Structure formats: C-alpha cells, structure tokens
Structure 1
Amino acid sequence: MATDFRIQYPNFINRESSLMRFNERVLAMAANPKTPLLERLRYLCIVSSNLDEFFEIRIASLKKKLAHDAKTIGTDGLTPAQAFDLVQKQVHELVEKQYSLLNEDIFPKLRQYGVRIFKQHDYNQIMYDWAKQIFMDEIHPLLTPIGLDPAHPFPRILNKSLNFIVPLEGKDAFGRNATIAIVQAPRALPRLIKVPEEVCGEPHGYTLLSTLMQLFVGEIFPGLSVKGIYQWRVTRNSDLYLEEEVSDLRLALQGELSQRNFGNAVRLEVIKDMPADLVSFLQKEFGLEEADTYYTNGSVNLTRIMPLADIDVGAELNFSPYTASLPAPFNKMSGNPSEMFEAIARQDLLLHHPYQSFQPVIDFLTAAAYDPDVVAIKQTIYRTGADSELMNLLLQAARSGKEVTVVVELMARFDEQTNINWAAQLEEVGAHVVYGVVGHKTHAKMALVLRRENKKIVRYGHIGTGNYHPRTARLYTDFGLLTSDKEITADMDQVFSLLTGVGTRRPLKTLLQSPFTLHEGMLKHIQHEIAQAQQGKKAKIMLKMNSLIEPQAINALYEASQAGVEIDLIVRGVCGLKAGVPGLSENIRLISIVGRFLEHSRVFYFYNEGKETVYLSSADWMDRNFFRRVELACPIKDSHLKKRVINEAFTLALKDNQLAWQGTADGRYEPVRNRRRAFNLHEQLMKLLG
C-alpha cells in the first residue's frame, strides 16, 4: 500500500502551494466589488506578474528536483512529483478564475465608463482603415517572420516574449511549400495601443497588438494562404547560478544575465483556440507537457494591460489619493544639515511607511552628503530603482571627497542590471563599492553616517525593514529607525567591517545578524516564552513577516503553543505552519493581510516577563534569510517607540475584519468577518499617521 506522506509529515504546508494561496487572496481583491474598479484590474494584473516570477523561480526549482531528486521527500511530506501536481492544479484553477473575472466582470463594467479594448469583431470600417495604417507604418517594418524549413530552424525565443504561430499553405517565391511560420513581436512594439476617440467613439478606447496581427497577418505573407494566427509565449527558468569561486562577481554576473532569457522552458501559454496539432508542436519544441500548458481566454500576458489601471477616468475608479505625512520633527526642519543630526541625537525617531513619508530618509542622506562635518557614509543597497535620488546623493558625497562605502547586492533578483549600473557609477567617482559575500546575499537595510563633533567621531544610523527605494516606499508598509544609539551604531559599523573586509566575527552588543545569531536568537526568545508558560506565567509571541517556512522555527512555535504560549502570526505570503490544529497549534492564530498597500515589514515581539522585547528586521523566517543571507534584527529601545510599533504592527492589524484572512489547519484561508464595526487596517493607519 502506498505511503501517505502527508500523514508521515503532517505539520508543514507545501511552500509553493502556500504561495498560490496568497495569489488567491490577491485575486480576491480583484473580485471584491468594494475595491475600486481600476484597482481591481491592477490586482488582477499583479497576479499575472506574480505567476511569471513563480514559474521562473519556484516551478523551475521544482522541475530541477523532478529531474535530479525525484524521490526526495520534503518537510511537507511530498515528493517533487506530488508537489508539482498539487501546485499545477492550483495554478490552472487560478488562471481560469482570472480570465473569467476579467472577461465576465471587470471588462464589462469598464465599458460603462468608456474604457474598452476593441477586438477584431468590434472593428468598423473607420477603425479598420486606421488600424491598417498603423500596422503598415509602425508594425510591419519591424516584423521578421520565419518560415520553418531545414534552412530556417525554430528561432530562439526570448523568455516571456509575445510570439505568433501561423499555419500557411501555398508556395513561396522560391517554390518551397509553406507550412508554419513563427512571428516574434519585437519588444519595441507596444502591446496596448490607444485608439483615438474620433476613430472608435470611446474616450478610453484601446486595442492590442495581437488584434492588429490577426487583422493584417496576410500582409506579412503575400501570395500565401494564411490558415490562422495564434499568440503564445514561453516562460523560462530565470534563476541565476554563480560558482562561489568567481574572481570578479560583477563580470561573472553580467555574463549570466545575458543568458537569463534563454533558460529551460517551464511554462507554455497559448490562446485557447489554438489547434491541438500546433499546441503539440510547441510542446515538443520546448520539451513541455499538457500540465505545463495554459490556455488563455484573452491576451497571453495580462501584465501588458496594467497601464489601463492608471488612466484618468474618474476618482471613484481608483483608491482615493493619499499623501504620506511628514511627521515632527522633520516637518519643522529648514534644510540645515545640522538640524537632522541634532534631532536624531536628542532621541530615536521612527518612521512607518507609506503612511509617513520616505522623505526624511532622503533628507538624512542629503544632510550627510552636504554637511562638511560628515566624514563618511556607509550603506547597503538591495533594491533602489534605476532613477534614484538616494544613489545620486551617494555619488555627490563621493565627488565632494567624503568616504563613501556602498555594499551593493548584485544578486537582487531581477534588479541585477540596475545594481551593476549603479556600482559602476559609484566606482567612477571614487566610492568604495563591495558586493558583500559570495553565497550570502546582503539583504540588511542600513545606512551609517560618521560625523566629526567636538573632535570626536559620532555615528548616526538608519536601519529598516524595507529597501531604499522611494517608489516602493509609497506602496509597501515598512518601518525605519533613525538612531544615534552608541551600541546600535557601533554594531552597524562592525557589520559593515565584516562585509567590506576580512577577519573573525566579534560579538554584537544589540543587533542580531544572519547567518550568525539571528536564528539562534529567535529560538532562544521562543524558548524563554515556553519556560515562562510552563511556570504558569504570562507568555506571548507576536510575529509579523512576509514568509514563514523555516522548519526549526515552526517546530519551536508548535512547542510554544503546546506549552500554552499565546502566539499571533501576521504572515502576508508563504506560511508553512498550520495554525489551530488541536494538540499541535491551537494557541496559534495566523492571519494574512492583503489590501491597498503591500504588507512588507518584519517585526518580532516577545513578552519577556513584561519587558516586551521588540525587533525590527530585514529578515523573513526562511532558510535563506537565516542561513544564506546577511540580515539584521534591531531592538527598539525607546519605550514610546516600542508602544508605537506594537500598536501599529500588531494591535491594529489583529482588529482588521476587512483585509485580513485567517489561516486554517489545512492551509486554506478564510476572510475574517465578524459583527464588529468594520475595521480596515490601512485606512486606520492613514487616519492615525496621516
């Protein structure tokens, strides 16, 4: 009799399956009629973007395991084949719901506001004439159709590119029989094309590049009989792998990036009316099977219609505008650099983005760049964007002769090229640029300023839970602490020394650091709460993060639950823990919050005999964050700020009954709904901090 692996390992939820559950919650925002209509469209497109990365990284990893470790059983009790089958079923169901929601609900409602994507059967003669002119002038010259024959093998297809397969009949100019052609859509061509109102009669009319291809494909193949045209795209493994013994990380990574678009195929998306023989032809070409094939009732890449969510239709179709507040004392500063350092010297300052502006962080680095008393700036960079005011400040500081040290993480997924470009610019102006430690991504978020005051060097630091990225700081929830605390800033300096130089590790006084002390430190805090509960004393743990899958940490939380520790988990995305299981985790409450802003902060709370220990951290509780990354957890020492973090990260979040989903024992999530007054965490924090 076959072994039921889920009985053998009953306590862990499959990582990929949990990630699909998260995307179901995101899609629920798109389905929710209370969500403004264009925002519903945005959430639907976000799901497509998430699925792209899911296939490029997670499914690619699963397929590797299928090929090399097919019989290995994971902590979830599943073999790679079982996990793959489980997740593929979830994804197929999710994609079907996605296109049904778009075609049957969102698009029809948008038409009521004059927002319409015109398909081939919607064209009248005026539109047809306009479209043909566009096609002949702007599209046709860029197309390079490839007829497949012994002299024209199947072309090399870029990852996630839009392609068309065209069955043909007839003889070409050389007398060859035409059978199949492949047409690749150049990336220079827009996928979503605005149609003038005088042409279509709608104020917000659009058409797709694929529709123009359908209408005028005959122009590409003169004299041949076109039997159809069908859009498709293939997704490839996009994870990067570098040997640890590389001599130049930047050069090695640059070489890997050039090959990212041509990794092994992991997913095939085809328009639903593509004939079965053509689908089989593509599957064979890419080594994929039916389970890897997704039939779309519309565009094969819904992220291409994301710009529709930003058009100006009416205020009621988007979230109401929100401007982050500039709290005291930052709102009273005149721009004199010394004001910033004097304010931080008086007391620690806490920022909660996006409710409070990211501008004080920019102002902190501006003060550092222009203050003549600042002698050095040290900073980690994980994601910052291609056009970053912050990076320009570091360039300015280096040009002015300050010692600027930047730890640039070149392996920040999908931001590698941007970071390579910034690293090169920083080196050109004399900054010290290092790439951390090969094999350990530098994910910690910290900036340190060294200032000469009264013939002594005084340190000022910023340490946070999110990236130094002004755009995402308007969309992601994160905490940031500005401090001149001598122990914290000395620890930060020591971490920078470890990253930039060589030498043995010395103990840090206050910060916990991966891969050395963070995992051990968290387990010790959990064990302390267990000991308190076993003595009949109050014991409580509250954790907020993006992902929770590290087995030792989960087992420790299970042990704490069984000892009577009260545990609240706020985990936005992947969670391998089963909450509320009798005898295992009945004292654990698990919620996920999905709403207007992306929950991104990592905050760890332990009751600690009433002393209430609270950490801000860059780390989720995953194997990679604990053991293969440089991460930090920083304690909040100021009692007032500690109360703020507890309230804003936990107390208010646990009251939410509009955005919150409660995790169940079998890994599903149910909306938190009760008879209390409606409580929306994001709206409450906008009111509280705005």
Structure 2
Amino acid sequence: MNTVKSKLNLLNRELGVIEFNRRVLAQAQNQKAPILERLKFICIVASNLDEFFEIRIAVLKEQLRKYPKSKTVDGQVLADAYLDIVSEAQVLVETKYTLFKKDIIPKLNNEGIHLYFNHNNWTSSQLRWAKTYFQKDLVPLLTPIVLDPAHPFPKVINKSLNFFVTLEGKDDFGRTPKLAVVQAPRSIPRVIQMPSRISPSPYSLVILSTFMQAFVHELFPGMAVTGCYQFRVTRNSDLFVSDDDISDLRESLKGELSTRHLGDAVRLEISSDIPEHLMKYLRRSCELNQEDCYRVDGPVNLNRLMQVADIVERPDLKFPTHIPKQLTINGSIFEHLKKEDILLHHPYESFEPVLNLLREASRDPDVLAIKQTIYRTGNVSPVMDALIEAAKNGKEVTVIVELLARFDEETNIFWAAKLEEVGAHVVYGVVKHKCHAKMMMIVRKEQLPTKGRKKPEFILKRYIHLGTGNYHPRTAKLYTDFGLMTSNISLCEDAHKIFMQLTGTSRSIKLKALWNSPFTMFDNIVRSIRAEAKAAKAGKPARIVAKVNALLEPLIITELYKASQAGVKIDLIVRGVCALKPKVKGLSENINVRSIIGQFLEHHRIYYFHANGKETLYLSSADWMDRNLFRRIEVAFPVLDKTLKQKAIHEGLNELLKDKSAWIMNSNGTYRQSKILTQNAQPSGQQNLLLKYSAAAQPAKRKLKT
C-alpha cells in the first residue's frame, strides 16, 4: 500500500470521527442547554466511542497484526497513525469525564438530582435498603470467579460491567486467593432510584457499581476484600462473513453473531484509583498495550446514564417536547397522490402518513403487490406489522432485508423469518453491496375512465415512497430526514427497475430520473460539479450546496477543488468527517464547510446544483464516501414539484446555512463555533423549524390541486 497516502487517509478518517465527537461534547458544555440534555450529549459521545473502538479501532488493530511495525515500513506507518489516533481519543475521554464530574454532577445536585457513585456518608436506613437490594436482586445473579491455576482470567463479555477484586485470607479449601472477577448482570438496570422515604432529594439515583463496591465482600465470606475496581473491555464487533463461502447468508451470519461479544479486546476502561501493578495484570490478561488502557474518574459505562433522563420527570430540564405536525388527508391516500406529491420533513412532520400509506395498501383489495427495502426498523415495528398483514391478505410482498446492517443484524434476521412465515418473498440484496436505499413501491389495479366504452379497462399503477432515512418510527422522531410519496411515472418506473435488479439480475438498467449506486450516482455527481465549473468559467451563475454526513471520496473532493478554482461558490454542510479543507488559498477559497450539531441528528443528504437556473435538487441516503458510491445500493431522487423543491431547499439547506450555532471548519481542518452563540443565542436552524411547525397543534388539512 502507499504508506504516506495510507497514513493520511487513516488520520483524516479516524481523527475526523474524534473531532466530530468533540463537537458533540461541546453541546454538553453549552451552559444554556438544559442540564439533562447536556448529560445526554455526554452519553452520546460515550456510545459513539464504543462503536468507534468496536469497529474502526478494531479494524486498525487487525491491520497492525498483519503488518508488524518491526518488519515492514507499512507496519511502522500504521503503528504511528494508531498512536496518533488513540492519543487524541485519550484526550477526548479525559475531557468528557472532567466535564461530567466538575460541571454536570454539581448542576444536577443543584436541581435535586443526586447520582451516588459511593456509599460514603449514607444513613443507616439507606445502607439497610441498599444491602437488601444487593442481597435480593443482585446476589442471585452474580458469579464471583476467583483467579487461580484452575480458574484463569475469564474472557469477559464485550462492554459488560465488571469488578476486579483483591482479597486476603484463606478459604475453606485452604486456598489463599489474591484476585477475583465479578461480572455485573446485564439484566439489571445500571441506575436505581432510592425510595422516597429515605431519599434526601427528589431524585436520589444510585449507580449499580455503588452496590457492588459497598457489599462485594459478602460474595467472599471469611475473606477480606482489600480493593474493588470496576472495569470494562471493548471487543472487536466487526462481523466477518466471507463473500466467497456463503451458501446461506442468514445462517452464516447467525454463527458470527453468537461469538460477536467475545471478539479480540481493543480497549480497557478501568477505575483511575487502581494500583499500577493490577492495571498491568488486567492489561496483559486482555492482551492489550498501555495505549489501549483508559483510566477514568467515574463510571466506566457512562453511556448507561442515559437512563437518568428517562427516570427524572423534569420537563424544565429537557428540550421542549416536540409534537410532529400531522398531515391529514381526507379519503384515500392513493387518490391524493394521483393529484400531487407529498414531501415530509421528519421529525418536524409526522412519519404517520408513511405508515398510513403502507397500512392502506395492506388492506386495499385493489393493491396487488408491495415491495420494500429494510435497513433498520427496530424490534417493535409497525412497518413490518403492516407488511406481514399485507402478506396475510394475499398481497405479493417482497422485502429486501439488509442482514448486514451493523448492530441490527439480529433484529433483521428476526423480521426476515417472520415475513417468510406468512409467505412474503425475502431477499438479502446483493453480495458485497449493502442495500442502504430507502424505497417502497405499491402496485395497484385501477380502472380507467370509461369514455363511452361498455367494458371497463384496468391498468396497474405504481405508487412509491423514497426516503433519506430508515423505515423506523422511533428514529423518525430524532433524525432529520425527507420522505417523498409520489405516483410520478418516471420515478415509479425507475424504482421498479431497481427492485427488479435487486431481486433478479441485470447487466445494466437505464434510469430516467433516479441516480443509483454503484452505477450512476458517482458519475452524475461528478458531471453536475463539472457543469457548475464550466458555467462559472463562462461567466454564468454557478452554485453547489451539499449536505452529507461524511465527505471522504477523493475524486469528488478533487472536482470540488477544481470547481472552487473555477469560481463556483460552494457550501458544504458535513455533520461528521470531512477530508476536504476549505478556504485554502489557490485551492478552495470559494468553499465553506460547516457542521450542525443540535437537538436532532442531522441525517438527510441533499445535493443542490444551480444548473443554469433550473436548480437541480436530489435527496438521498448516500454520503459522499467510497462505500456509499461504489459498495452500496443507494438511490438519490429529485424533487420535481416546484413548491416541494423550494420547501426542501429552504428547510434542508438555507435554514442551516444561516445557523449561527454551526461549527465552521478552518483551512487546517479544525472547527470553530460562532461567538454569537454565547453572547446572544439566536434560534438555530432546527429551532426555527420547530417554531414553524409548532403551529401544528391542530392537524393541517391539505387542499388538493385541481
């Protein structure tokens, strides 16, 4: 491999992930944000880092094993890059815990919300309650493991909460064990509310580790417990299913899932007060190096404190509850879509119309077939319930289920089996290409106007939903996404061709309106960028605005640089990792890059090109990354209705481009946040949209075009 290029790519991608999490953590530092929301942002960073280590760092460590630094130049480059990455991760973790302990905890205390991490200064009644809870709810589920020649260090489960216990004394067998490991039961909540009768504040919340540290000695009768230190091991959770040896993807995946929680260790989190010799023992037992160990001053599983916001019923300490605007349609939604398209902006507008379309289709005797892609949908899914109902009602139901949707594999296997039980056709997409496109198509038998004919004539008419987000009602309340419902003939024909390609086989398909990966999307994006550059060189107006979660594809970055040099004004809204550097003299002076971190997760991808005044606009689930453009099934769809197009431009782009709380990328790749935020916080783009749609307390009735 090209060593220099490899190291730069690694640093750009992985350090970009850490930089993104710094921006998320800054939301937790925002003194104007509600305190429980600030705590949630800390938990989000903790959760993000879990996946970062489980997947990205795990893959990097696999490469390090393949290219030992002592034997190859490539190995040395990888090792240097790895040290740079984990060094930045260590700084982020330290910042996170300092903020949690010195800022978040005191402010929670001021609001009557106490988190107990130790049992010091507890009253006798509190200790009695805690001891009863420990003996009744914990002891029956605990299995202490003493470490000796007959009991080696256990391979603790991925991300489980564990305790490393030091002992003195002799047991009844005459043994003198020095060390033991106790794993906390995964079925027990990590935050337990103290009863009001003994609570000194409205909310006294005890962390599970507090019970363990207070009463762990009861698990070792006759022995003296001299120390108890919580620790957590993160393991490689990337699934390996060989594309060359798959006879049954679902069965192969099941085999991998059963061992996912016992992959190679990649990170050790441990209490900061553990003695150095015990730290070394743990590190060696997990086969980790010093740089893989994270001493933390607080709970090792901070992400589990997300439960606090659920327990505490204090609306004044949370973001105001948003009730999505409901679109009420009188009569059949099919009749509505014959006359006009519907563009929904989630979470400002409800996801319910999408569910209603699917439910109506499942029960309509004139609907003959439903086809849908599923990437993530949840354990409880009204979407899957409607598809199952449709199959039971005799519809031809075909579902492309992506079994390799990371961390949703088990859920998708479950739903695939449920669909097959009722006679639905279930396929798993294309080997080596994840199906990430969000598509639903309904085929309906409809009667043509008679026009004097004696016998009625029928046609098969298609209706489709194309989205930027998953068919997941819960995330539709948390992520910003667009969803288009239409009966447009060109769009429906293209969707039909893509479904046929996914379930059957095809050498090539020609699409009229949709862009699709891995075939036409990249070429169309590059062609559109070049067209803007050509217009700028000719002295014509030229403009590019793109909103994506990540921008890493090198050829697209090169084309954007060329367009900038040609005079094209380019605005990029990149939530996460961006390898392009803006405002570099002679290279990218006409490019601005901003990142939006807010109450909702910015998720829709939007591509806008001036196109000589035609304003080409495409919505998609595809980031400008190699994997999305070449190794996934993706779809980008245009918004053809002029009014709806302007809605998407204004709400999806313009509101974010004038957002004073945005993070602006500097020419060196770092970010700065507008000082206006701390002086006089103007409404953010998300807040403006919330204000706009808050008038939706009453359902809005849509007038049909005549």
TM-score, normalized by the shorter chain, greater than 0.5: yes
SS in 2 for 1:149: coil
Contact 1:70 1:79 in 2 (8 A): no
Shift of 1:163: 0.7
Bigger Cα displacement from structure 2, 10-19 vs 208-217: 10-19
Q: 1:445 aligns with which of 424, 438, 444?
A: 438
Output the CA distance in 2 between the equivalents of 1:279 and 1:12. 29
Query: What is the match of residue 291 of structure 1?
Result: 291
Per-residue CA deviation, residues 349-378 of structure 1 (Å, 9 max, x unaligned), is 100000011011011101111111110000
Matched, 1:32 2:34: no
Match in the other structure for 2:325: 325
Structure 1 residue 603 and structure 2 residue 606: aligned? yes
Q: Kindly state the Cα deviation for residue 188 of structure 1 after the two structures are TM-superposed.
A: 1.7
Distance 1:342 1:23 in 2: 46
Partner secondary structure for residue 261 of structure 1: helix
For residue 657 of structure 2, the aligned residue among 654, 664, 671 is 654
Please report how far the alpha carbon of residue 79 of structure 1 lies from its aligned counterpart in structure 2 after TM superposition.
3.1
**Which deviations, in whole Å up to 9, do the C-alpha atoms of 1:546-589 show, x marking residues without a partner?**
11111111111111111111100001011111111111111110
- 1: CA distance, partners of 2:270 / 2:8: 37
Contact 1:512 1:634 in 2 (8 A): yes
Describe the SS at the equivalent of 1:116.
strand
Letter in structure 2 aligned against 1:195: M
> What corresponds to 2:145 in structure 1?
146
Aligned to 2:80: 82
What residue in structure 2 maps to residue 495 of structure 1? 498
Are residues 1:340 and 2:339 paired? no
Instruction: Report the 3-state secondary structure (helix = DSSP H, G, I; strand = E; otherwise coil) of the residue aligned with 1:495.
Output: helix
Aligned in 2, Cα 1:670/1:70: closer, same or farther, shift over 3 Å? Answer: farther
In structure 1, what residue type is equivalent to 2:387? L
Contact kept in structure 1, 2:113 and 2:203, CA below 8 Å: yes
Alignment partner, residue 353 of structure 1: 346
**Structure 2 CA distance, aligned partners of 1:12 and 1:153?**
36
Distance 2:286 2:320 in 1: 46
Counterpart residue number, 1:624: 627
Rounded to whole Å, the distance in 1 between the matches of 2:681 and 2:650 is 19
Could you tell me which residue of structure 2 aligns to residue 66 of structure 1? 64
Residue aligned with 1:157, SS: coil
Q: CA deviation at 1:312?
A: 3.9
CA distance in 2, matches of 1:394, 1:681: 36
Q: Which deviates more from structure 2 when the two are superposed, residues 566-575 or residues 641-650?
A: 641-650
Q: 28-37 or 165-174: which moved more?
A: 165-174
SS in 2 for 1:630: strand
Deviations 1:516-571 (A, max 9, x none): 11111111111111111121211111000111111111111111111111100001
Q: 1:194-249: per-residue Cα shift (whole Å, max 9, x none)?
A: 11121222221111221111111111111112111110010001011111130111
The answer to whether the aligner puts 1:399 opposite 2:403 as a matched pair is no
Q: Give the conservation status (yes or no) of the 8 Å contact 1:446–1:463.
A: yes
Matched residue, 2:453? none
Q: Paired residue for 1:98? A: 96
Q: Kindly state the Cα deviation for residue 112 of structure 1 after the two structures are TM-superposed.
A: 1.7
Partner of 2:345, secondary structure, is strand
- Could you say if the C-alpha distance between residues 135 and 320 of structure 1 is closer, same or farther in structure 2, counting changes exceeding 3 Å? same
Alpha carbons of structure 1 residues 505 and 34: separation in structure 2 relative to 1, 3 Å = same
In the aligned structure 2, how far is the partner of 1:446 from the partner of 1:83?
39
* 2:285 is the counterpart of 1:282: no
Instruction: Please say if residues 17 and 87 of structure 1, whose CA atoms lie closer than 8 Å, have aligned partners that are also in contact.
Output: yes
Read off the aligned partner of 2:213 and give its amino acid letter.
Q
Displacement of 1:73 in angstroms is 9.5
Residue identity opposite 2:480 in structure 1: T
Question: What's 1:530 paired with?
Answer: 533
Aligned to 1:43: 41
Task: From 682, 688, 693, give the equivalent of 1:689.
Answer: 693
Residues 42 and 96, structure 2, Cα contact 8 Å, conserved in 1: yes
8 Å CA contact 2:203–2:312 kept in 1: the answer is no
**SS across alignment from 2:583:** coil
1:205 has 2:204 as partner: yes
Name the residue aligned to 1:414.
407
Instruction: Quote the Cα distance in structure 2 between the aligned partners of 1:474 and 1:213.
Output: 37
SS of alignment partner, residue 151 of structure 1: coil
2:550 corresponding residue in structure 1: 547
CA contact (8 A) 2:548 2:605 kept: yes
Partner of 1:314: 314
- The equivalent residue for 2:251 is 251
How far 1:128 sits from its partner (Å)?
A: 0.9
CA distance in 1, matches of 2:357, 2:371: 13
CA contact (8 A) 2:596 2:663 kept: yes
Stretches of structure 1 that go unaligned for 5 or more consecutive residues are none
Q: Contact between 2:441 and 2:495, CA under 8 Å: does it hold in 1? A: yes
The equivalent position to 1:478 in structure 2, one of 464, 474, 481, is 481
Out of 350, 358, 361, which is 1:365 matched to?
358
CA separation in 2, counterparts of 1:385 and 1:358?
A: 15
2:426 equivalent in structure 1: 433
Measured after TM superposition, the shift of residue 27 of structure 1 is 0.6
- Provide the residue aligned with 2:702 in structure 1: none
Assess if the C-alpha contact under 8 Å between 2:11 and 2:85 holds in 1: no
**Offset at 1:392?**
0.2
Which of 558, 562, 566 aligns to 2:565? It is 562
* Residue 642 of structure 1, CA deviation: 1.2
Alignment match, 1:666: 668
Tell me if structure 2 keeps the 8 A contact 1:161–1:234: yes
Q: After alignment, is 160-169 or 86-95 more displaced?
A: 86-95
The Cα shift of 1:70 comes to: 6.0
2 CA distance for matches of 1:11 and 1:182?
40
Greater Cα shift, 671-680 or 193-202: 671-680
Q: Which whole-Å CA distance do the structure 2 matches of 1:644 and 1:227 have between them? A: 65
Which whole-Å CA distance do the structure 1 matches of 2:312 and 2:132 have between them? 27
| Aligned counterparts of 2:8 and 2:383: Cα–Cα separation in 1 | 47
- Aligned-partner residue type, residue 611 of structure 1: K
- Give the drift of 1:315: 2.6
SS in 1 for 2:547: strand
Deviations along 1:269-295, one digit per CA (max 9) or x if unpaired, are 000001111110111011111111111
What secondary structure, in the 3-state scheme, does the structure 2 residue paired with 1:652 have?
A: helix
Runs of 4+ in 1 over 4 A off after TM superposition: 3-6, 8-13, 69-74, 674-677
| Residue of structure 2 equivalent to 1:376 | 369
Amino acid in the other structure paired with 1:382: Y
From 103, 110, 113, the equivalent of 2:111 is 113
SS in 2 for 1:22: helix
Say if 2:329 and 2:336, in contact at 8 Å, map to a contact too: no
Larger deviation, residues 527-536 vs 384-393: 527-536
Q: Name the amino acid aligned to 2:280.
A: S
Q: Aligned to 2:394, what secondary structure does the other structure show? A: coil
TM-score (structure 2 length as normaliser): 0.93
Deviation by residue 1:382-408 (Cα, 9 ceiling, x = unmatched): 000000111100000000000000000
Sort the Cα spacing of 1:619 and 1:490 in 2 relative to 1 into closer, same or farther, 3 A: same
Task: Tell me the SS of whatever aligns to 1:670.
Answer: strand
Residues 183-192 or 430-439, more deviating? 183-192
What SS does the corresponding residue of 1:411 show, helix, strand or coil? coil
In 2, distance between residues paired with 1:483 and 1:615?
Answer: 15
Aligned with 1:513: secondary structure? strand
2:52 aligns with: 54
Verify: 1:585 aligned to 2:588, yes or no: yes
In the alignment, the residues of structure 2 paired with residue 212 and residue 285 of structure 1 have an alpha-carbon distance, to the nearest angstrom, of 26
Tell me how far apart the structure 2 counterparts of residues 73 and 102 of structure 1 sit (CA, whole Å): 41
Counterpart in 2 of 1:176? 175
Question: Aligned partners of 2:7, 2:238: CA distance in 1, in Å?
Answer: 29
Alignment check: 8 A CA contact 2:3 2:73 kept: no
SS of the residue corresponding to residue 104 of structure 2 reads helix
What is the identity, as a one-letter code, of the residue corresponding to 2:689?
L
Letter in 2 for 1:663: M
Residue deviations 1:28-80 (CA, integer Å, cap 9, x gap): 11110111111001111011000000000111111122222467999xxx932
Aligned to 1:18: 16
The answer to which of 419-428 and 165-174 deviates more is 165-174
**Aligned letter for 1:510?**
A
Q: Please say if 1:639 is aligned against 2:652.
A: no
The answer to whether the 8 A contact 1:661-1:670 is kept is yes
